[in-house]
Amino acid sequence: MKELVQYLARSLVDNPDAVEVIETQGETASVLELKVAKQDLGRIIGKQGRTAKSIRTILNAAASRVNRKVILEIVEER
The predicted-structure confidence for 12-51, as pLDDT tens digits, reads as follows 999 999 999 999 998 888 999 999 999 999 999 999 999 9
Using a cut of 0.85, tell me whether the model's pTM lies above it. Answer: yes
- What is the count of structural domains for the chain? 1
Parallel, antiparallel or unpaired: strands 29-35 and 69-75 = parallel
Confidence of residue 55 (pLDDT cuts 50, 70, 90): very high
Give the domain range for residue 65.
2-75
CATH number of the domain where residue 69 is located: 3.30.300.20
Give CA–CA dist 50/2, Å, rounded: 20
